[in-house]
């Protein structure tokens, strides 16, 4: 299970970087992407990985206890990922809120990778 969680966490980190890139592009150009050609397929792809990750994380946390990783953090991170996947395409998205969420996701996912590596 840990190896699958590790792989999914790495994929979510890659998506998190994409969120930032798409957001910066949307802010620079001021253009919105086509919903059916770009946004929906991307969000569906992210959500599939996100939902699988969240489910496995809950099972993993039910079996083990960690000092710095809790189920509520998993829920919050999954919610942030869901919102970021959509908001990154819209130039009117609040920059500070977006960046704070994106950094929170980055930090928590990296902490999970550290725990699995040890």
The answer on pLDDT for 5 being more than 90 is yes
Question: How many angstroms separate the CA atoms of 34 and 31, rounded?
Answer: 10
Its pTM stands at 0.93
Enumerate the H helices of the chain as residue ranges: 2-29, 40-63, 71-87, 95-117
pLDDT tens figures, 10-63:
999 999 999 999 999 999 999 888 999 999 999 999 999 999 999 999 999 988
Question: What is residue 10's predicted lDDT score, i.e. its pLDDT?
Answer: 98
Mean pLDDT of the chain: 94
The residues, any chain, with a CB within 8 Å of residue 13's CB and separated by 6 or more, are 106, 109, 110, 113
Question: How many angstroms separate the CA atoms of 59 and 32, rounded?
Answer: 38
Question: How many angstroms separate the CA atoms of 92 and 83, rounded?
Answer: 14
- Mean predicted confidence (pLDDT) in 80-85: 98
CA 81 vs CA 6, 50, 64, 115, 117: distances in Å: 17, 7, 24, 20, 23
| N residues, the chain | 118
């Amino acid at each position: 299970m840990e190896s699958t969680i590790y792989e999914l966490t790495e994929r979510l980190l890659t998506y998190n970087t994409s969120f930032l890139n798409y957001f910066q592009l949307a802010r620079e150009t001021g253009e919105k992407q086509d919903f059916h050609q770009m946004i929906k397929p991307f969000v569906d792809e992210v959500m599939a990985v996100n939902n699988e990750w969240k489910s496995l994380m809950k099972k993993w946390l039910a079996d083990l206890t960690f000092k710095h990783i809790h189920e509520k953090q998993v829920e919050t991170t999954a919610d942030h990922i869901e919102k970021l996947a959509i908001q990154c395409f819209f130039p009117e998205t609040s920059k500070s809120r977006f960046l704070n969420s994106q950094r929170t996701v980055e930090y928590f996912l990296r902490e999970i990778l550290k725990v699995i590596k040890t």
